[in-house]
A and B are shown apart, each in its own frame.
Chain A
Amino acid sequence: MVIILGVERLNESLVVIVRGIIAFFSLLFFTRILGKQQISQLTFFDYIVGITIGSIAATLTTDLTSRALPHWIGLVVWTVLSLSMQLITIKWRRAGKFIGGEPTVAIMNGKIMESTIKKMRFRGADLMEQLREKGVFSPQEVEFAILETDGRLSVLKKAENQPVTPKDLNMPVGKKGVNTELIYDGVVYHQNLKQVNRDRKWLDTQLQMHGIKDESEVFLAVFDPESGQFYIDRYEDKVKNLTDMSDYPEHE
């Protein structure tokens, strides 16, 4: 308790803590509703929406000169509007293109589309930089370069500049699937074991084959059911002459 203007009040820090908890969990809940878009996939508008929602949450926490509820309602309004925009863009293709913009062709058959990149307020230097990031050092190598709505450049190289694939060489390749975690941090995940149609007995045999007596010795064990590959990593890594990339080696 502190005395402000002769009246005993709760310490303002306590009020900030409570408002902080409200803002934190509201933000967590609302961002979960808004979905799982990666930062790199955000459009410029999504980015601004994120900043605004964050800013409202910050004010909700620390601005004690105003009530918490109007800020919280502001959070709800921005979340609901964003969500409606998302739903509109999913449901109506035309509206989606209007709101989120459209990908545009920046390079076609090695030729830069100057008027298009100018319209997108994209400089030639930006274009070259993005091309270099994709491992392309001359626009001549490009068949198509498309400027995506989030400002990234997708590049399709000309056929003669594409890397050779096993298909080009008519090489047979084995199937590759998705690795499933069977053991993590010494704990066997029976549900995953069932998913890859294997049982505990099979896992024990695999562990024995790798010289492991107990699952608690294992940090990570993953299995690819398509290729049948089994990868195991123990806590005890028997590595001699460990490469130290740090500037401050542990033992000098």
Chain B
Amino acid sequence: MLRRIIVIGIPVLLMVIFIFIMMSGIFLKKPMGKDDHVVKNINILYNDIQQRKWKAASTDRDDLESAWKRVVPRVQFSAERDEMNKISNSLAKLDGFIDGKEKAGALAELKDLENNWRNIGK
């Protein structure tokens, strides 16, 4: 009986762990502390850009970047490399649009970032 439990139980347990690791992005991208709330930061930044508050937008973009930096190592085992690269690229472009005070470009880039964020770990 014990042998049967080991022979069947261990592989099944391993498979469950593997599936959890491969799907972990869905859970691990959710905020776990104070400074890793990516969605909240996206919304704040969206409002800043809409209202052309460029100084606040610059600071809030930095907050969004630091939140993203905290999440990245957690989702790396379940996300695509290109998805993560796209978010980092969008953050860099957002910096340029905010510096140039270009609302349309900044909003477009932020929407792209939001879309990529939604796809992570899906």
Contacts and interface: CB of A to CB of B under 8 A. Distances in A.
B80 A69 contact: no
A212 to B, nearest CB: 33
A37 interface: no
Contacts of B19: 69, 72
B88 A29 contact: no
A104 B24 CA distance: 53
B65 to A, nearest CB: 8
A7 B76 contact: no
Contacts of B89: 5
Nearest to B73: A10
Given A15-B77, A64-B81, A65-B81, A29 B92 contact: no
A19 to B, nearest CB: 8
Contacts of B23: 69
A18 B21 contact: yes
A69 B88 contact: no
Nearest to A33: B11
B54 interface: no
Nearest to B17: A22
A148 to B, nearest CB: 33
Interface string A1-26: 10011111110100100110010011
Contact of A68 (B15, B22, B82, B91): B22
Interface residues of B, number: 26
A68 B14 contact: no
B116 interface: no
A32 B113 CA distance: 43
Interface string B77-114: 11111101100110110000000000000000000000
A136 B51 CA distance: 91
Given A4-B88, A29-B15, A9 B22 contact: no
B18 interface: yes
A18 B82 contact: no
Contacts of A25: 11, 14, 18
Interface string A61-87: 000111111001000000000000000
A72 B18 contact: yes
- Among the interface residues B19, B69, B91, which one has the most CB atoms of the partner chain A within 10 A? B19
A222 B94 CA distance: 76
A7 B14 contact: no
Nearest to B119: A67
B76 A10 contact: yes
Nearest 9 A-B pairs (CB), nearest first?
A5-B88, A69-B22, A64-B81, A22-B18, A68-B22, A29-B11, A7-B88, A10-B73, A10-B76
Interface of B: 11, 14-15, 18-19, 21-23, 65, 68-69, 72-73, 76-82, 84-85, 88-89, 91-92
10 contacts: A5-B92, A6-B65, A7-B88, A8-B72, A15-B76, A15-B77, A18-B21, A65-B81, A67-B78, A68-B22
Interface of A: 1, 4-10, 12, 15, 18-19, 22, 25-26, 29, 32, 64-69, 72
